[in-house]
Structure 1
Amino acid sequence: MAYRGMKGVPQDDTSYLERHNDNMVGDLANKVSALKNISISIGNDVREQNRLLNEMDSDFDSGKSLLGATMKRLGIVSRAGGSRLQCYLILFALVVFFIIYSLVK
């Protein structure tokens, strides 16, 4: 009769279960390590994307201020130049629009 270890389970089965549990613990440790590496990579990617978004935000702010100043100057020019200059300005805007439209298409 075989020696009975844990609650009536034969000794050979007990050592098998311990080896099996050790293997499962090792697999779990590998999976946790992989998950940790993925989490670190995601964190690095998020930080990089936040940095790029902050740069884009500052670029858009500078572009907005430049456009605002240009629109103010165009308003001054259109008020000072009369209707003839305003007509040229509208024609120029239409030509630029069609050039950009044809390049995009």
Structure 2
Amino acid sequence: MHSRRGRDDSKQQSAVETNQNIVEQQNNDRISELSSQVGRLKGLTMDIENEVREQNVLLEDMGDGFSSARDLISGSLQRIGLVFEQGGVKNMLRMVGTLVIAFVFLYWVMG
């Protein structure tokens, strides 16, 4: 009877070891899946970081461009103000004529 009990214990121990091996293999598979997902997320994060850096450079360039345009417009408005201050019909007609020619030219180019 003692030998039968020993065989049952041996079978139980073998079954427990088999279950442990199965669980360990499942855990290893899940770890591999998680590692793969982490790698994909890391790659995605790096892509997002690069895109943000490129967009920041573009925004800085646009800011510089707007600043330059603002300075040009400010200078032009100051010169127009000087023309108005100096008065004179001749200067006024010259400015209006130049603007009309510029608008006609732009209309012709755009049309």
Hey, what's the Cα distance between the residues in 2 that align with 1:83 and 1:24? 86
Report the alpha carbon displacement of residue 4 of structure 1 after superposing the two structures with TM: 2.8
1:32 matches 2:41:
no
Aligned residue pairs, count: 102
1:41 matches 2:41:
no
Within a 5 Å distance, the mapping from 1:32-71 to structure 2 comes to 32-71=38-77
Structure 1: give runs of 5+ residues left out of the alignment: 101-105
Within a 5 Å distance, the mapping from 1:63-82 to structure 2 comes to 63-82=69-88
**Which consecutive aligned stretches of 4+ in structure 1 deviate over 4 angstroms post-superposition?**
82-90
Hey, what's the Cα distance between the residues in 2 that align with 1:86 and 1:55? 37
Hey, what's the Cα distance between the residues in 1 that align with 2:53 and 2:80? 40
Hey, what's the Cα distance between the residues in 2 that align with 1:86 and 1:11? 101
**Local SS of the residue matching 2:87:** helix
Within a 5 Å distance, the mapping from 1:13-24 to structure 2 comes to 13-24=19-30
Calculate the TM-score normalised by the size of structure 1: 0.73
Hey, what's the Cα distance between the residues in 1 that align with 2:89 and 2:30? 84
Hey, what's the Cα distance between the residues in 1 that align with 2:75 and 2:68? 11
**Local SS of the residue matching 2:13:** coil
CA RMSD, aligned part only?
Answer: 2.6
